[in-house]
A and B are shown apart, each in its own frame.
Chain A
Amino acid sequence: MFEPFQYAFLQNALLAGSAVAVVAAVVGYFLILRGLTFAGHALGHIGFAGAAGAVLLQVDPLYGLLAFTLTAAVGIGLLGQEIRERDITIGIIMMLMLGLGLLFLSLYAGYAERAYSILFGTILGISQHDVLVTGLFSLLTLGVLGGLWRPLLFSSVDPEVAKARGVPVRRLRVLFLVLVAITVSVAVQVVGILLIFTLLVGPPATAVRLARTPGRALGLAVTLGLAYTWLGILLAANSPWPASFFIAALSFGVYLPVRLLALGWARRRPAPPALGVKVESEHPVGS
């Protein structure tokens, strides 16, 4: 039964996938808390143009992803609260980025294949070098999040009081979005652009409905993310489909019953405490 694990490609995939799953779960938890899930979605699309541009310039797509997403993250962070009201502007920016990515790829010879792999991930073809890079970025992100955990949680749940208490809310916002950009960039290798939501938001969204405290929600999110990723990779290794399909299916398959049946803790209560004081059913989460 353990025979498959001897293959290098599988080991690489599982290592990189694990790193990404953990980071994505943690970052995704804060995305939900801050009501910024659409930003995760948007950064993925924006990253697509970067990845495609990198392919055209014969550079590793990851660096294209990072360049575009980091720029966008800083921009979104500095724009502040306004961004939530500008869904048409963001939608059009996303569209422009996708179009740009399409242009870049169409100028490149093997474009459909390349487009497909950026859109859906290539975790089963990941190289050892990429595993190392992914691992380093993940560690960096987790390290920063670990160090900033308290002020970040504070400013996510109650930004006004946090600001009054001296927490640098604005700088944290920009820094957090930078971390999201990094996470999205490495996660695209695993699940691709189109299904990034399912790895970034799926596990934490499920976890916050089941856990009582932020700590437990995070733990559950990480566990779920790892489980989906491992299962997804193993299932994909034996089939012609990308791992992202299976990960997305698992993520949604578990989320749906939890959400519909209000399983576990959130049964008939207005606000799961893992989300803080926001009452999710009445108005949008986040400030």
Chain B
Amino acid sequence: MSLLDLLNQDFARNALLAGAIVAVVSAVVGYFVVLRAQAFAAHALSHIGFAGATGAALLHLDALVGMFALTLLAAAGMGSLGARIRGRDVEIGMVLSLALGLGVLFLSLYTNSASETVGVLFGSILSVTPRAVQITLITGAGILIGLGIIWRPLLFASIDPEVARARGVPVRALGVVFLLLLALAVAQAIQVVGVLLLFALLVAPAATAAQLVRRPFATVGLAIALSLAWTWGGLLLAFTSRWPVSFAIAALAGCAYFAAGGIRRWRVPRRYHAPPHPTREYP
């Protein structure tokens, strides 16, 4: 079957469409994730979402609903903890492991198939249903609209929280709202790349763009372009070879990130690198 024939198949079209929506949304949300140094939050939400999805399936509820519900709940919790969550490597690591363990436990109770487990962990875009595409479209639109409303104060609060607070920007509330939007974006992205490769769509394109361009709009634009390129490129690679889709996407995204780092260092010779803002420390 030639590539054109393949692209006429329903599953391929659904995959490309869902992939495109998730790519765009992830890139935009990812820009703020990188700016706010909240990659660890995305990581944590993905693991918790996994437990939500599998737990829901076990209770004979819709897995997508379970995933969205639990990630939103977790995001609200993280938001309420506020800055206290920084520096808590041990606690976060334990919660991540617990969520992952629970998720797999639920999954193994629900199905005896090892390949389904691997599917949820590494993505299953090639089996996305039309209904899932619809849900992805609706949530994607919702996330983008939400970000469209708060982007100015959010940008301000992310770059300089103290000054923003002094100017009356509701920094803390914005933080919570952003985490909720992040939760939705994470749940979306998991369908394409799975839990373990989330960074490929949510963090890598934005981080790559941030290394090459400075201005916010240019960065977001570049991130969207890259994200689409990796998603479709990855899908095409998967269609024409034996490579798993999420691997192809992850490989493109990861290599590009390091290539961008190389480009950045070549353009701007290594000089004193100011230490990151105190609130930006890991994790």
Structural contact, A106 and B244, CB atoms closer than 8 A? yes
Chain A window 71-114, contacts with chain B (Cβ cutoff 8 Å), 1 for yes, 0 for no:
00000000000001111110111111011101100110001110
Structural contact, A113 and B114, CB atoms closer than 8 A? yes
Structural contact, B91 and A259, CB atoms closer than 8 A? yes
Say yes or no: is A252 at the interface (Cβ < 8 Å to chain B): yes
A116 to B105, CA, bound (A): 12
Please pick, from A88, A99, A102, A284, the residue contacting B207 in the complex, using a CB distance under 8 A: A88
Return chain A residues, CB-CB under 8 Å to B108.
Answer: 240-241
Which stretch in A34-42, A132-140, A154-162 binds the other chain?
A34-42
Say yes or no: is A195 at the interface (Cβ < 8 Å to chain B): yes
A112 to B117, CA, bound (A): 8
Say yes or no: is A30 at the interface (Cβ < 8 Å to chain B): no
CB-CB under 8 A for A87 and B257, given A92-B207, A99-B197, A195-B97:
no
Return chain B residues, CB-CB under 8 Å to A241.
Answer: 105, 108
From residue 139 to 191 of chain A, which have CB atoms closer than 8 A to chain B? none
Q: Closest Cβ of chain A: how far from B243's Cβ, in Å?
A: 6
Return chain B residues, CB-CB under 8 Å to A106.
Answer: 242-244, 247
Say yes or no: is B142 at the interface (Cβ < 8 Å to chain A): no
Structural contact, A195 and B282, CB atoms closer than 8 A? no
Structural contact, A120 and B247, CB atoms closer than 8 A? no
Interface residues of B (CB under 8 A from A): 34, 37, 39-40, 43, 86-87, 89-91, 93-94, 96-98, 100-101, 104-105, 108, 113-115, 117-118, 121-122, 196-200, 203-204, 207, 242-244, 246-247, 250-251, 253-255, 257-258, 261, 275-276, 280-283
Interface residues of A (CB under 8 A from B): 32, 35, 37-38, 41, 84-89, 91-96, 98-100, 102-103, 106-107, 111-113, 115-116, 119-120, 194-198, 201-202, 205, 240-241, 244-245, 248-249, 251-252, 255, 259, 283-285
Given A95-B253, A202-B94, A245-B104, 10 extra CB contacts under 8 A: A92-B254, A92-B257, A93-B254, A96-B250, A103-B243, A112-B118, A194-B97, A198-B94, A201-B93, A252-B94
